[in-house]
Chain A
Amino acid sequence: MRTVTVVGASLAGLYAARELRAQGFDGRLVIVGDETHGPYDRPPLSKDYLTGRAGEEGLALTDAEERAELDAEWLLGVRAGGLDARGRTVVLGDGRTVCTDGVVVATGASARTLGGGRRTGVHTLRTLDDARALRAELTGGERRVVIVGGGFVGAETASSCAALGHTVTVVESAPLPLVPQLGAEMAAVCAALHRRNGVALVTGASVAALHGTTAVTSVELTDGRTLPADVVVVGIGATPNTAWLAGSPLALNDGVLCDDGCATALPQVVAVGDVARVGGTRAEHWTAATRQPRAAVTNLLAGHTVADARSVPYFWSDQYGVRLQFTGRRREGDTVRVTEGEVADGAPGEDGFLARYERDGRTTAVLTANRPRSFMRARRELAREIHGVPA
């Protein structure tokens, strides 16, 4: 291969570029990114960046020294518009084309929106520009903030807004947030964090309409209630950015369909990160985006799948001073047992807890609150049990 194009300049794209060089690819490396910013880390956007504890300088994933080593052509601020039938030409949104021998698809996902017209005060939180705009709105005195969606982005944003002194309501359409991720029992424990920290949690209701002519003034819910709002943050998930691949031979179904090694329907195209459905799973996890590129690049350079990109899922979330860490694959019906610390009054106890999800006497997953050391040990044990290697 003489040219490899990495489409996507965020976490997974950068890691893919690093892997290409680390695995000996010394040809032309092109990195395309739709944002004008170089690669940056998104997890702090809803946490320390939003509260002002951390600035933008801490978000950069790379520096001039590394960029020089990578020796890549960075095409930033331009969206990929298409991939030709052979996967040999990436068409850019501005009409330019990049002829290439290999492609790494790392276009990520975009925040879902509510639709229904634009109003000021309504935000999503996915990109640095999103976070800048939201942060600016949260610095001008106390606001009534309505968070739509009680998932991790919603919960962390609620936590940050509460820490800044705003009045916060979280609206979740399901009877309880985070059930798909944590199961009902532990989801209830995490949901209790909202109330314990003075944040109202409305469940079983979704948004019927946003009101306000130019700026949002209130959120009307499907249960008939209307919540006054100065700021609305919509955290209702993300859609993989695959529109540019429509018409290409790649199979698309809520992501780019890949085998266990991130290989797509075209031998010289691999996909990594939030956009990739690897072995049937699309994991929107930071860790997946940093781990998949190694195997993906190996397979790209080999021309067929020789390495497995799957690893035991891991994600974390910081909310209300509690660090939640989860690893494993839980399934419906797993029993949950708190084996360290305690759940007190339905919420994480003062010293946190470690909960094991179990099936047939085996641990399938582990959730901890403020128990990083116990979590590390459990994570290694679980990875060894599942894959025979430490995490």
Chain B
Amino acid sequence: MIPVCRLEDLPKGESARVGTIPPIAVFHTDDGDLYAIDDTCSHQDASLSEGWLEGCLVECPLHAASFDLRTGRPTCLPARRPVRTHRVTVDDGFVHVHLAAEENAVEQTAVRHNGVRHNAVEQNAVEQDNAA
């Protein structure tokens, strides 16, 4: 579990980059959801946290590849491979990323049941914070 920042320091429409190896990008969408994906575009060396966030999609700042934050899958060229997604939680107003690798057992179950990985933050936490 990697601490990222206080939720209030990551307003809607913004992103944060976590300097892990490999780095992680955390996004707070305009709808209030939090997502985390690998920060480096699967096409070429560019930071997705610097990308253009629109809905649940982020567009790479270098070659305009677009990724679905919910699945990590590219939605257009030039990217052809997905980026990993990671689960995000908010605990006491602090945003945490749970690395996909650390959650292997949990992930596998989730994938088997749902077909896609769920990495959106628990809605309660976000709503609470938005209300605050």
Best-buried of B46, B61, B64 by chain A (most CB within 10 Å): B61
> Which one of A44, A290, A372 lies within 8 Å of B47 (CB-CB)?
A372
Which of A94-102, A121-129, A154-162, A373-381 is the contact stretch?
A373-381
The answer to whether A63 and B80 have CB atoms under 8 Å apart is yes
The answer to whether A372 and B78 have CB atoms under 8 Å apart is no
Instruction: Mark B55-70 against chain A: 1 for CB-CB distance below 8 A, else 0.
Output: 0000101111000000
The answer to whether A376 and B45 have CB atoms under 8 Å apart is no
Tell me if A66 counts as interface (CB < 8 A to partner B).
Answer: yes
Tell me if A313 counts as interface (CB < 8 A to partner B).
Answer: no
The answer to whether A44 and B44 have CB atoms under 8 Å apart is yes
Q: Which residues of B contact A350 (CB under 8 A)?
A: none
The answer to whether A372 and B50 have CB atoms under 8 Å apart is yes
**Min C-beta distance of A33 to chain B, whole Å:** 19
The answer to whether A43 and B46 have CB atoms under 8 Å apart is no
Tell me if A316 counts as interface (CB < 8 A to partner B).
Answer: yes
Tell me if B77 counts as interface (CB < 8 A to partner A).
Answer: yes
Q: Which residues of A contact B45 (CB under 8 A)?
A: 48, 54
Given contacts A41-B44, A43-B44, contact A372 B61 (CB under 8 A): yes
A48 to B78, CA, bound (A): 18
A41 to B44, CA, bound (A): 10
For this complex, into which size category does the number of interface residues on chain B fall? Answer: 10 to 19
A44 to B52, CA, bound (A): 23
A61 to B44, CA, bound (A): 11
Q: Which of A47-95 contact B (CB under 8 A)?
A: 48, 54, 58, 61-63, 66
A43 to B47, CA, bound (A): 17
**Min C-beta distance of B11 to chain A, whole Å:** 14
Instruction: Mark B65-105 against chain A: 1 for CB-CB distance below 8 A, else 0.
Output: 00000000000011010000000000000000000000000
Q: Which residues of A contact B50 (CB under 8 A)?
A: 372-373, 376
Q: Which residues of A contact B59 (CB under 8 A)?
A: 376
The answer to whether B77 and A376 have CB atoms under 8 Å apart is no
Q: Which residues of B contact A63 (CB under 8 A)?
A: 80
A41 to B52, CA, bound (A): 23
Instruction: Mark B20-49 against chain A: 1 for CB-CB distance below 8 A, else 0.
Output: 000000000000000000000000111100
The answer to whether B44 and A376 have CB atoms under 8 Å apart is no
The answer to whether B44 and A373 have CB atoms under 8 Å apart is no
The answer to whether A290 and B77 have CB atoms under 8 Å apart is yes
A134 to B82, CA, bound (A): 32
Q: Which residues of B contact A48 (CB under 8 A)?
A: 45
A375 to B80, CA, bound (A): 24
The answer to whether A380 and B44 have CB atoms under 8 Å apart is no
A62 to B77, CA, bound (A): 11
The answer to whether B61 and A373 have CB atoms under 8 Å apart is yes
Q: Which residues of B contact A372 (CB under 8 A)?
A: 46-47, 50-51, 61-62
Q: Which residue of B lies closest to A47 (CB)?
A: B45
Q: Which residues of A contact B63 (CB under 8 A)?
A: 286-287, 290
A48 to B46, CA, bound (A): 12
> Which one of B52, B78, B80 lies within 8 Å of A376 (CB-CB)?
B52
Q: Which of A205-240 contact B (CB under 8 A)?
A: none
Q: Which residues of A contact B61 (CB under 8 A)?
A: 325, 372-373, 375-376
**Min C-beta distance of A244 to chain B, whole Å:** 28
Q: Which residue of B lies closest to A370 (CB)?
A: B50
A290 to B60, CA, bound (A): 15
Instruction: Mark A3-19 against chain B: 1 for CB-CB distance below 8 A, else 0.
Output: 00000000000010010
A114 to B79, CA, bound (A): 37
A316 to B51, CA, bound (A): 15
Q: Which residues of B contact A290 (CB under 8 A)?
A: 63, 77-78
Given contacts A376-B59, A376-B61, A380-B52, contact A66 B80 (CB under 8 A): yes
> Which one of B52, B62, B78 lies within 8 Å of A316 (CB-CB)?
B62
Q: Which residues of B contact A377 (CB under 8 A)?
A: 52
Task: List 9 other contacts, CB 8 Å, given A290-B63, A325-B61, A372-B51.
Answer: A41-B44, A41-B78, A48-B45, A61-B78, A62-B80, A290-B77, A323-B62, A372-B50, A391-B64
Task: Give me the 8 closest cross-chain CB pairs, A-B, nearest first.
Answer: A372-B61, A372-B50, A373-B50, A376-B52, A376-B61, A316-B62, A48-B45, A373-B61
Residues on A close to B: CB < 8 A? 15, 18, 41, 43-44, 48, 54, 58, 61-63, 66, 286-287, 290, 316, 323, 325, 372-373, 375-377, 380, 391
Residues on B close to A: CB < 8 A? 44-47, 50-52, 59, 61-64, 77-78, 80
For this complex, 12 residue pairs linking A to B, each with C-beta atoms less than 8 Å apart, are A15-B77, A18-B77, A41-B78, A44-B44, A48-B45, A63-B80, A66-B80, A286-B63, A290-B77, A373-B50, A375-B61, A376-B52
